[in-house]
Chains A and B, each alone.
Chain A
């Protein structure tokens, strides 16, 4: 009696399993151990091998503590429905503990400007993709590495996996006079649109410092940094005219040696504005009341002047009073040589005979 419910539960659980293969929509950049996408189970109905061909480029010398860039050109990639291809940088194919950091390697940047060993790219045309990782190890060490790609296909839902031949990275001791960017250098990562940005780079044993700005299709732009003090170099990134990001790195040369830093990212954004409503409203009310006060003061002042003017405007009264006191002009007219104004003031004295 108990078997039937148990069987029903198992049947329901089995039927609830989603009918999908791997991650056709991609899995997102992250630090990931090797995933075979099903192909390691050896069931040809679930998986298939990728025809991808790998060409790995590694630097001649990798110095302990300094960054080194590995580029991997993956060719003969088949067309897929989504065009998404994922690439791993691995230290083994155990699917467990095979991330570079497990061996002390730190990924400082990859093609997608992340810091992960797994990255995804989209292939829109052609059959090849370029993946890169910039990594470093503080210890003197030799490590085996692999690059693996996972992708889908067009005509079936199978997951495809391809793995490169193993290759070794060996770090060597840093020479005493090794030119490099000073340890701990952290450039600014953001700025405002429309602003030139001057960046100062402290170095060690550098004779020449060149800045590479990542361009499209690997056409990098080079800017020569100028010396601004002892082992201090300076360059100016031109202003961005809109919100964008650019990637740049430092190539340091000296004593016949050259080192290249990891890619740094610089984001240009419009200035942001954040405020609560209260200060804005209070500011508005303040300005408004000041406006009322200003008009009030102005009117009071000008109106007061007019009132005072009215109050002291006595010309008519004085004229009338003066007019009533002006003596009558004799029938013979004003004395010879007199003006009317003189008559107003001295006429009465003339009539009284007080004037000679």
Chain B
């Protein structure tokens, strides 16, 4: 009988690989922002990695929370929040790339903002992975630079619900043009 932690390890390996491809592609997009041909390839690589990561991430979250009790482990609670946040940022990036289309590589400002968000998402994956290492081995490379070591600050349920409603209103409700 395979344990949840074994599945988690498999999903995490695929996940980290996908987000690394995405993160490096986003980083290079900022560097080669004037070469449209290279940008086209980098754009495809970044979003393919992001898409694959998004597919695997829910399974990694489920297998991760099943292999421990997030209610009694501060690290696991932080890891869960970071993971779900990563999923949100990834979906946001993918949806907005799809809606914006290839125009994204023709606008330097948009490309810079979009790629920066992609790199931030990759950073969230790295912090989540670091927390996993801390949880299983008691140490992590990111300990040395002090990222992800802050204590978990639990938001009250009402605050979470307010943030969910606020976010949904921003995403769903149509906005009148100010122009």
Question: What is the CA–CA distance of A292 and B92 in the complex, to the nearest angstrom?
Answer: 4
Q: Are B170 and A285 in contact (CB under 8 A)?
A: no
Q: Are B168 and A279 in contact (CB under 8 A)?
A: no
Q: Are A299 and B84 in contact (CB under 8 A)?
A: no
Given A292-B92, A292-B171, A295-B92, residue A303 in contact with residue B100 (CB < 8 A): yes
Given A275-B77, A306-B110, residue A283 in contact with residue B155 (CB < 8 A): yes
A contact residues, range:
20 to 34
Q: Are B170 and A299 in contact (CB under 8 A)?
A: no
Q: Does A335 contact B (CB under 8 A)?
A: no
Question: What is the CA–CA distance of A302 and B92 in the complex, to the nearest angstrom?
Answer: 15
> What chain A residues lie within 8 Å of B141 (beta carbons)?
none
Q: Are A303 and B95 in contact (CB under 8 A)?
A: no
- Binary B-proximity of A282-298 (CB < 8 A = 1, otherwise 0): 11111111111111111
> What chain B residues lie within 8 Å of A284 (beta carbons)?
80-81, 83-85
- Interfacial residues of chain A within 260-311, with CB under 8 A of chain B in the complex: 273-300, 302-306, 308
- Interfacial residues of chain B within 128-179, with CB under 8 A of chain A in the complex: 152, 154-157, 159-161, 163-164, 166-168, 170-171, 175, 179
Given A289-B163, A293-B167, residue A299 in contact with residue B157 (CB < 8 A): no
Partner of A281 from the list B84, B88, B110, B168 (CB cut-off 8 Å) is B84
- Interfacial residues of chain A within 296-334, with CB under 8 A of chain B in the complex: 296-300, 302-306, 308
Given A298-B113, A299-B114, residue A287 in contact with residue B84 (CB < 8 A): yes
Given A288-B85, A293-B167, residue A275 in contact with residue B154 (CB < 8 A): yes
Q: Count CB-based A-B contacts (< 8 Å).
A: 132
> What chain B residues lie within 8 Å of A292 (beta carbons)?
88-89, 91-92, 95, 167, 171
Question: What is the CA–CA distance of A282 and B159 in the complex, to the nearest angstrom?
Answer: 9
Q: Are A281 and B80 in contact (CB under 8 A)?
A: yes
> What chain B residues lie within 8 Å of A285 (beta carbons)?
84, 88, 160, 164
Q: Are A279 and B156 in contact (CB under 8 A)?
A: yes
Given A280-B154, A284-B81, A284-B85, residue A295 in contact with residue B163 (CB < 8 A): no
Q: How far is the CB of A22 from chain B (nearest CB, A)?
A: 42
> What chain A residues lie within 8 Å of B163 (beta carbons)?
286-287, 289-290
- B interface size (C-beta, 8 A): 48
The dominant DSSP class at the B interface is: helix
- Binary B-proximity of A232-256 (CB < 8 A = 1, otherwise 0): 0000000000000000000000000
Q: Which of B12-20, B21-29, B40-48, B67-75 sits within the interface? A: B67-75
- Binary A-proximity of B97-131 (CB < 8 A = 1, otherwise 0): 00110010011011001100100000000000000
The dominant DSSP class at the A interface is: helix
Q: Are B89 and A274 in contact (CB under 8 A)?
A: no
> What chain A residues lie within 8 Å of B60 (beta carbons)?
none
Q: Are B107 and A302 in contact (CB under 8 A)?
A: yes
User: Closest chain A residue to B116 by CB distance?
Assistant: A298
- Binary A-proximity of B50-94 (CB < 8 A = 1, otherwise 0): 000000000000000100001111100100110111111101110
Q: Are A289 and B154 in contact (CB under 8 A)?
A: no
Question: What is the CA–CA distance of A285 and B164 in the complex, to the nearest angstrom?
Answer: 7
Q: Are B70 and A291 in contact (CB under 8 A)?
A: no
Known: A273-B73, A292-B167, A302-B110. 5 other contacts (CB 8 A): A275-B70, A287-B163, A288-B85, A292-B89, A299-B99
Q: What would be 25 A-B contacts, judged by CB atoms less than 8 Å apart?
A: A273-B72, A273-B77, A275-B71, A281-B80, A281-B84, A282-B164, A283-B155, A287-B84, A287-B85, A288-B85, A290-B88, A290-B166, A291-B89, A292-B89, A292-B95, A292-B167, A293-B92, A293-B166, A293-B168, A296-B95, A296-B171, A299-B113, A302-B107, A304-B179, A308-B179
